[in-house]
């Protein structure tokens, strides 16, 4: 039954012309799916961002994705999208907003001239938005250092029961970015009293042999970006 409803829903979505992006369209979709009618803020506004390349897999089959993460000053929500793809495919990449205050995940998607915002409940498991979950305990400093994105970084080696590798850590970043780094799993205890921030990491899982590489490519503390929620037809996705 759910498959049949989803098929009807998406057939109708593709029939809506661009000029029909109205609350009436959202109400119609809510009637079809049996979901509640949803209102969103006029916009989600962001002023900080990180561009990150994340690679994982075996040496012969390494998958690489480029992400952009955005936050507002109060960090009430965050946005993530996959970047670095061909220009013609960017419109198809959803922008995913995790709203911590209303406990919702909003998928902003474009289908030709139709814009949809599909809203899911933010479950406890999905509140963990860390991109890096590798255990970096057992850090040992090396004598290597270099500037990465303007930050003085020191190379540390680590090896523990689950992984081994090298991380380049900055002792400080802009204070407005500290929570963003921490929320994405890019902060680590250098010692008992000091937290550092990961700009670059290469690690190997000891059990599986899988590699993980993370590189922060760009930091922007003056990002000026907004998602115009009112240009999307919003509907809630029924819980499983």
Q: Provide the pLDDT for residue 84.
A: 65
- Give the rounded percent of residues in the chain with a pLDDT score beyond 70: 79
Q: Provide the pLDDT for residue 112.
A: 72
Position with higher pLDDT, 234 vs 31: 234
Domain positions in the chain are 2-50+65-129+223-236, 140-217
Average pLDDT for the chain: 81
Cα separations in angstroms, 167 against 66, 82, 191, 214: 19, 24, 15, 9
Contacts of 126 (CB under 8 A, 6+ apart): 98, 105
Q: Provide the pLDDT for residue 11.
A: 35
Q: Calculate mean pLDDT across residues 158-175.
A: 94
pLDDT at 171 over 80: yes
Position with higher pLDDT, 37 vs 191: 191
* Single pTM value for the model: 0.77
Cα distance between residue 133 and residue 231, in whole Å:
35
pLDDT in tens, 113-152: 788 899 988 877 677 778 888 888 889 999 999 999 999 9
Q: Provide the pLDDT for residue 196.
A: 94
Burial of 16 (0-12, 13-18, 19+ CB in 10 A): buried
pLDDT level of residue 95 (50, 70, 90 thresholds):
very high
């Amino acid at each position: 039954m759910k498959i049949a409803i989803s098929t009807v829903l998406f057939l109708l979505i593709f029939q809506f012309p661009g000029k029909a992006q109205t609350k009436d369209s959202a109400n119609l979709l809510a009637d079809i799916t049996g979901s509640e009618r949803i209102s969103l803020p006029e916009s989600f506004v962001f002023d900080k961002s990180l561009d990150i390349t994340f690679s994982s897999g075996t040496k012969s089959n390494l998958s690489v994705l480029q992400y952009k993460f955005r936050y507002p000053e109060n960090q009430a929500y965050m946005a993530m999208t996959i970047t670095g793809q061909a220009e013609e495919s960017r419109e198809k990449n959803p922008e995913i907003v995790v709203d911590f205050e209303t406990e919702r995940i909003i998928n902003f998607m474009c289908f030709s001239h139709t814009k949809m915002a599909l809203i899911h409940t933010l479950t406890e498991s999905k509140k963990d938005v860390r991109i890096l979950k590798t255990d970096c305990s057992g850090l040992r400093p090396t004598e290597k250092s270099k500037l990465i994105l303007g930050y003085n970084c020191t190379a540390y080696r680590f090896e523990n029961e689950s992984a081994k590798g090298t991380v380049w850590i900055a002792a400080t970043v802009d204070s407005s970015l500290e929570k963003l780094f921490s929320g994405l799993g890019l902060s680590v205890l250098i010692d008992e009293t000091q937290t550092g921030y990961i700009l670059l990491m290469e690690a190997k899982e000891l059990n599986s042999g899988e590699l993980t590489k993370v590189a922060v490519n760009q930091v922007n503390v003056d990002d000026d970006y907004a998602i115009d929620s009112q240009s999307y037809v919003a509907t809630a996705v029924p819980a499983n």
